[in-house]
Chain A
Amino acid sequence: MNDLATYAENTWCPGCGNFGIFNAFKKAVKTLEEKGIGRDKIIISAGIGCHGKIFDYLKLSGLYSIHGRSMSTVQGMKIANPDLKVVAFAGDGDAFGEGLAHMMFAAKRNADITVIVHDNGVYGLTTGQFTPTSDKGFRGPSTPRGSIEEPFNPLALMLEAGATFVARGYPVKLNHLLNIMVQAVEHEGFSFVDVLQPCVTFNNTYQRYNKLVEILDHMPESYQEAMNFAKRTDKLPLGIIYKKEKPSFHTAFYGDWNPVTKRLSKQERIKRVRALLSP
């Protein structure tokens, strides 16, 4: 596995849920390679926050983006060269705060990208403020009396927006999570993986999640059933809750075109522009 790690010093807190996501993704890359998707074609991006450090730690090519934009970054990569498999890592602040519109629209247009949300319900790197997925009543430096807002439900949001692959994982169930990641990358269309990520320093949810998570024994058969699973609070179902085949954005948009590998030559462009310029 070390051949998938860089020399960057790891600065996640000991016990951080990010380690599980990191390890699961490295294993997922190995599995994808066995399936014929080379690591040279797996391109990553990340937002800003503790989750984003995964960009430095993974020995994979990509672009370390800015807060809330990694899903736009990878959509641009995919549109430019659809031969690439693109994965955006995002925090819950990235995905559902700063970058909510990008998430909704990536799902709406079924962009062929994978978004893995490190959903820990807290802004760790900026010292523990509440996020779009924090529980009501969450106390942090910006909400000393407790947050008065209800949290978003990421799975329900993405289902409603049109995501064609919606899943939830938990780093403690590492093999289960890696299997979700592999299928998410393989899926042609918008793949959303919400990872329940405990933050040992500011929002330690291990005990709660250990009690509540439950691996699904089957994938829900309908959109409605998927929505019901997404909205459950007595248990937190883990697994792929929804998957649908639908043409992805770039395929529906330009078929088998590839702006980079099929780029027209200068001569051809001159010819075509000259034709348009004839009076």
Chain B
Amino acid sequence: MKEDVFTFIVGGKAGEGVRKAGSVAARLFASMGRQVFHMDEYGSLIKGGHNFSVVSSTTRRITSHYMKADLVVAPDKRSYDLHKEHLTEGGILVYNSDAVKDVEGLGVPLMTEAKKYPNPDLKIGVGAVAILAASVGWDRGRIKSLIENEYPRDIENNVAYAMTIYDIVHTKIGKKFHLDEGDRERPIITGNEAIALGAVVGGLDVFFAYPMTPSSSVLHYLASHEKDLGVVAVHPENEIAVINMAIGSTFAGARAMVGSSGGGFALMQEAFSLAGMVEAPVLCYLGSRPGPSTGVPTYTSQGDLKFAIHQGQGEFPRIVASPGSMEEGFYLAAEMLDLLWRFQTPGILLTEKHLAESRMTVDIDPKKAKWPEPIMHGGGEYKRYLDTKDGISPLLFPPSKELIKWDSYEHDELGITTEDPDTIVKMQEKRQKKQMAITEHMKGMHTVNVYGNKSPKIFTYGSTTLSVLEALKAGKMEARVVQPIYLEPLPEWELEKYRGEDVIVVEQSCAGQFASILAEKAGIEPKAVIKKYDGRPFDPVDLAAKIKEVV
């Protein structure tokens, strides 16, 4: 079923370098020219609990991890018990013989050896990588240089430990698996990194965020690359400050973006509406996790779709888009900046933890990214809210001899507060004209991805697209996968042809929000909705079976 895919799982307590081991394993595969998908499952804690990394790899494009592993490394009893279920037929389970006794598999004294060095807990992940390297036939030199590159802190001890573990397992499982080399080595990035970099290429100047999983790593990434990228990343007191600062930045002419998850985003609603009124092009990044409320912070969900498209009081245009892959996240961040600056209105880039934090090998050409070129004031007397045919008023930034007034109250063309009924009507209609202009513009854009042209017709969006595409490969099935990239306005003009057809929806929402929006806005009544809402992304094999069931 998945003979071309090799999967590695490493589990353990938080603080044992499990996620790092997953990253290094991904790099190991990528350095063989293979393509990789790496998913981390972790709890909302710093020490203890149970974390694991799943890394699947093959020589073709791969868009999901698989929960059946060829090699499992279990440093403790809990990992062993949990992941022995994840072992595929013919797979190998290597466990820490210091922690687990009298079980099947290959026991290795991971801790006894680790205790010969400082910080033994942190060594466990290094050992897991060494086991993987031996099992896929890497020689000592190759694994040594990988460890040196990936574990630069305490480099000598890490190499010594890795070599010890490598030598122990080499005689037993060395070259157990043969992995083909792929075509070339690719970068591996998370969805959040892709979005951060795409926004930078698309003109981002300032980023504001208050930490909230799973969006925080955009803040971390940009903050750690401020100098390399010429971007300012600020962490203010709360989400309300975050978005109000961002709006102030756009007034000064900066391309601004904010990031949060559902709860933090709820705090931004008031200012999201402010952005609609003053016509501030603020790009909002919303990374979803299961709600309501605090919910399940470090897991995935698509439960914020309707929340995203209905942000903010009052009526004003907004654009909501959700990428179906890391690459698409990159280009879409830039495209959203272009659109928002063109139409001067706020917008949301919606993702889920699964796309935000999972990592995969990517092919990205930064040259293909869009760049915002807003309509600028051409001279003469300036009116911020000049009523034009399409509702778009030219921009002008301070310092200027002209008066530039952005106003949260209803306002006249100059930006002075008004309660005059005719002016209210004019401005409401001006914003409505922008809404129509956005739709007209988007009709000329690529707004829906369609993969394949067979039956069944499967509708999905966001990171679930990754799962669906891999499920079709896992199940050796053909289909037509329809993925709207834009969710507001929903590209009905592309979707209406599916009305009355047999359609299956796949989404990670209990209420079936995506299916309901398709019905409401595009008149598409799905015959089946495959849902998952346990916080975990789909496994491609399971999903393939579910699709076969409903077809």
Contact = CB atoms under 8 A, between A and B. Distances in A.
Contact of B249 (A62, A76, A264, A266): A76
Contacts of B271: 66, 69
Contact of B232 (A59, A64, A257): A257
Interface in A239-275: 253-254, 257, 259-260, 262-264, 266, 268-270, 272-275
Given A43-B398, A69-B244, A278-B187, A266 B371 contact: yes
A199 interface: no
Contacts of B270: 66
B218 interface: no
B398 A64 contact: no
A43 B408 CA distance: 16
A256 to B, nearest CB: 13
A102 interface: yes
Interface string B400-444: 111111111100001111000000000000000000000000000
Given A40-B398, A41-B399, A63-B248, A260 B228 contact: no
Contacts of B185: 279
B397 interface: yes
B189 interface: yes
Contact of A64 (B206, B230, B406, B414): B406
Contacts of A40: 398-401
A269 B200 contact: yes
A63 B278 CA distance: 8
B367 interface: yes
Contact of A276 (B208, B225, B236, B362): B225
Contacts of A84: 252, 398-399
A76 B244 contact: yes
Contact of A79 (B245, B274, B399): B245
A56 B415 CA distance: 8
B228 A73 contact: no
B232 A254 contact: yes
A147 interface: no
Given A80-B249, A259-B205, A72 B240 contact: yes
B405 A61 contact: yes
Interface in B376-416: 397-409, 414-416
Contact of A273 (B201, B240, B371): B201
A242 B230 CA distance: 36
Interface of B: 30-31, 185-189, 197, 200-201, 203, 205-206, 208, 225-226, 228-232, 234, 236-238, 240-241, 244-254, 256, 270-271, 274, 278, 362, 364, 366-367, 369, 371, 397-409, 414-417
Interface of A: 6-8, 38, 40-41, 43, 45, 48, 53, 55-56, 59-66, 69, 72-81, 83-84, 101-102, 104-105, 253-254, 257, 259-260, 262-264, 266, 268-270, 272-279
26 contacts: A8-B416, A8-B417, A40-B398, A43-B398, A62-B406, A63-B247, A63-B406, A65-B274, A65-B408, A69-B240, A73-B244, A75-B245, A76-B248, A105-B241, A257-B232, A259-B205, A259-B249, A260-B205, A266-B201, A269-B201, A269-B230, A269-B366, A276-B228, A276-B229, A278-B187, A279-B186
